[in-house]
Structure 1
Amino acid sequence: MAHVNLNYQAYADFNRDEIIAKMSKHLKQSRLDHCLRVEQTAIELAQENDGDVTVAGLAGLVHDYAKQRDVDEFTALIKQDHLDPELLKYGRAIWHGYVGYLMIQRELGINDNRILRAVKYHTIGAPVMDVYAQIVYMADYIEPERDFSGVDEARAITHHNLWDGVVYQNAQTMKRLVNNQQAIYPAAIVAYNVIAAGQK
């Protein structure tokens, strides 16, 4: 952990240890470990980009809070909250961020929009991404245990310029989805079109 004061209870109903304990009930240890690494990477990126390390760290920690929740929980939430019915055609890869932020809000008492947006958009991006959304998007992609072709380039780009990292990751992700003939959630295409044009 970076030598910073992380007062997560300023933004949540629970302190860091309590949040981790709650996460451990819903996540396998390997996923929880990933969340802890993303938390650390998000803190580093916040320090590099004049962001609030507490906001970034908390968003990074909880970004996958809903990753392993039951499919039925997601479908019920989509229907009850009258979310885009198109979401029902997809799965947890999309839902854990785009829907899961609601679980974070309701179960952890996190209401700061910077954190909620960062969680919501951490897999598909968005046409407008503030520094915290960018930080979590990239921290998830480049955390130390990530090992895929291009990750070292992604790390170098991101540490040099955060937004350039976002553009790089977004393009790589879209290429992978197309090459694997996977359906792309429409909001992700909208985000790509804006990000590819270099807008924030």
Structure 2
Amino acid sequence: MNKQQALGLVKPHLTETRYLHTERVVETALDLAARFHVDPEKAMIASAFHDYCKYRNLADMRQLIEQYDQLSNQLLDFHHELWHGPVASILVETELGIHDKDIQSAIYWHTTGHAKMTDLEKIVYLADYIEPGRVIPGIEHVRRLAAYDLDHAVFLACKNSIGFLVSKSRKVYPETLNLYNDLLGKN
């Protein structure tokens, strides 16, 4: 599957704004993949479909998580914004025939992260965070780090995300804390 085919498949499932975000995430992921020697096709596909289920019906997503996801008891206790990655990792296989476990995992973890992430997972997580359309406090520092230090950039993106959630008195998903703790010793 090439980039235009992937984007063509995801476009009907997104708003125009989210589609433009997805295009930028794909370009950012391809840049990061080249920089950090990660398979560009896997980075392109995972980033193209990272928000494939962003606008799916919440009841349908809940049902899929309960049916397929080993973390469902935990995941469903957190904000529904975290659900679209795990659901997309299932539906890209069942609806689109994407059977690559590396791609599915990168889609699954693109919002929360987890300890011991693969470089592909880190690239999709980071590309979603630093794409050029994002305006987030501290993002320029993360973008500069992404030019040469993948782990440090992911760590700082994670730290900023946790800080935002804490500032809003929102729960932090345990796997996000595991990512922070995992990378803390490396930075």
Give TM-score, length-normalised by structure 1: 0.86
The aligned length equals: 186
1:99 alignment partner, SS class: helix
CA drift of 1:80 comes to 2.0
Q: What is the aligned-residue RMSD (CA, Å)?
A: 1.7
CA drift of 1:148 comes to 1.9
Structure 1 segments of 4+ aligned residues over 4 angstroms from their partners: none
CA drift of 1:129 comes to 1.0
Q: Deviations over 1:44-84 (max 9, x none)?
A: 11111111111111111111111111101111102222542
Looking at structure 1, the residues matched to 139 and 78 of structure 2 have their Cα atoms a distance apart, in angstroms, of 26
| Identity in percent | 32
Q: Deviations over 1:96-137 (max 9, x none)?
A: 113321112211111112211111111111111111111111
Amino acid in structure 2 at the alignment position of 1:55: K
Q: 1:124–1:188: 8 Å Cα contact kept in structure 2? A: yes
In the other structure, the counterpart of 1:177 is 165
In the other structure, the counterpart of 2:111 is 123
2:97 matches 1:92: no
2:33 matches 1:65: no
1:173 alignment partner, SS class: helix
Q: 1:97–1:123: 8 Å Cα contact kept in structure 2? A: yes
In structure 1, runs of 5+ residues without a counterpart are 1-7, 9-14
In structure 2, runs of 5+ residues without a counterpart are none
CA drift of 1:85 comes to 1.7
2:132 matches 1:144: yes
Amino acid in structure 2 at the alignment position of 1:189: L
In the other structure, the counterpart of 2:121 is 133
Bigger mean CA deviation after superposition, 90-99 or 142-151? 90-99
Amino acid in structure 1 at the alignment position of 2:42: V
Amino acid in structure 1 at the alignment position of 2:8: A
Looking at structure 2, the residues matched to 190 and 162 of structure 1 have their Cα atoms a distance apart, in angstroms, of 17
Q: Deviations over 1:128-167 (max 9, x none)?
A: 1111111111111111111122111110011121111011
In the other structure, the counterpart of 1:77 is 64
2:35 matches 1:48: yes
In the other structure, the counterpart of 1:35 is 22
In the other structure, the counterpart of 1:25 is 12
